[in-house]
Amino acid sequence: MTQTASDETGARPSTVKNKRGLETRQRVLVVTKALIGEHGYGEVTLDQISSAAGVAKSSLLWHFGSKEALLAEAVTSLFQEVEAQLLPEAAVGLPVAARTRHLFERVAEAFTRNPEAKGIILSLLFSGGVPEQVRARIQAGWHEHAVSIASFLGTPERPFPPDLARTMVAMFHGAYCQWYADGRTQPIMTYLAPARQLILDWLDGPR
């Protein structure tokens, strides 16, 4: 069937409208993540989001359905951003020791590039006002991260222990907290380096 000029004209406004809707949605999520980091999950209001994003509250509800759904999507987006930065496929073919160094470097880069992100996630875990679905997403994300680390650093000849992978996640968090408590005056790798050496020593140890 041949598309008429009127058909094409009718399609363009719809396409533009959809694009603007996606751009608005993304802008709202970026603003919401920043507000969660600044005020805490339980203190963010629709008025704050509306003002900061330049979007009417009615439009926020149209896009997301409710404040709770918007906050949950913002947090999920934050998890996905952090996780996607840590285990690049390009490093899979490297020797295990090189993969370990690469992983710690990526963690340091992620913390340095977005120093508030991990703090937001940790604060959500200990906040009493966070919905159970968000808390469950944090727990699932950390479990998935540990599983990914074990797969990333393991070989058929020497699987990487899941318990050690979970310990690595804990060391990442501990290094972050100490770095942040010290005012971020030193590179984050200063705090991560001892943990990296512990893992490298384990890799070099008896098989």
Q: Among 16-20, 146-150, 173-177, where is mean pLDDT lowest?
A: 16-20
Q: Residues 30, 109: one domain?
A: no
Q: Across 7-11, 144-148, 197-201, which has the greatest mean pLDDT?
A: 197-201
Cα three-residue angle 174-176-181, rounded to 5 degrees? 95
Q: How far apart are CA 121 and CA 134, in angstroms?
A: 10
Which of 74, 96, 126 lies at the terminal end of a domain, its last residue? Answer: 74
| Per-residue model confidence (pLDDT) at position 132 | 81
**Rounded mean pLDDT, 189-205:** 95
Q: Residues 97, 5: one domain?
A: no
Can you tell me whether residue 189 is helix, strand or coil?
Answer: helix
What's the gap between Cα 4 and its chain centre? Answer: 46
- Rounded to a whole number, what is the distance in angstroms from the first to the last CA of the chain? 68
Q: Is residue 46 part of a domain?
A: yes
Which of 9, 41, 74 lies at the terminal end of a domain, its last residue? Answer: 74
Q: Residues 96, 174: one domain?
A: yes
What digits encode the pLDDT tens for the residues 51-62? 999 999 999 999
Q: Which range of residues forms the domain containing residue 69? A: 1-74
Q: Is residue 80 part of a domain?
A: no
Contact between residue 162 and residue 146 where contact means Cβ atoms under 8 Å apart: yes
What digits encode the pLDDT tens for the residues 36-89? 878 877 789 999 999 999 999 999 999 998 888 888 788 778 777 766 666 666
Q: Predicted confidence band at 141 (pLDDT cuts at 50, 70, 90)?
A: confident
What digits encode the pLDDT tens for the residues 11-27? 455 676 677 878 999 99
Give 150's contacts (C-beta < 8 A, 6+ positions apart).
Answer: 159, 160, 161, 162, 164, 165
Q: Residues 151, 57: one domain?
A: no
| Per-residue model confidence (pLDDT) at position 14 | 62
Q: Is residue 174 part of a domain?
A: yes
Higher pLDDT, 120 or 151: 151
Could you tell me the CATH number of the domain that includes residue 49?
A: 1.10.10.60
Phi, psi of 114 (to 5 degrees): -135, 75
Q: Is residue 116 part of a domain?
A: yes
| Per-residue model confidence (pLDDT) at position 60 | 94
**Rounded mean pLDDT, 179-206:** 94
**Backbone torsion region of residue 54, taken as left when φ is above 0, otherwise alpha when ψ lies between -120 and 50, otherwise beta:** left
Q: Say how many residues make up the chain.
A: 207
Domain count across the chain: 2
Residue 20: which H helix or E strand, with range?
helix 5-39
Q: Residues 65, 130: one domain?
A: no
Average pLDDT of every residue of the chain: 84
| Per-residue model confidence (pLDDT) at position 144 | 86
Tell me which residue has tokens 């993304």.
26
Q: Residues 155, 55: one domain?
A: no
Q: Residues 53, 106: one domain?
A: no
Closest CA to 41 of 113, 174, 142, 137: 137
Give 98's contacts (C-beta < 8 A, 6+ positions apart).
Answer: 91
pLDDT at 107 over 70: yes
Q: Predicted confidence band at 113 (pLDDT cuts at 50, 70, 90)?
A: confident
| Per-residue model confidence (pLDDT) at position 12 | 57
Q: Predicted confidence band at 162 (pLDDT cuts at 50, 70, 90)?
A: very high
Rounded-to-10 torsion of CA 138, 140, 146, 149 = -100
Q: Predicted confidence band at 128 (pLDDT cuts at 50, 70, 90)?
A: confident
Q: Is residue 79 part of a domain?
A: no
State the number of CA atoms in the 13 A half-sphere of 117 facing the CB: 20
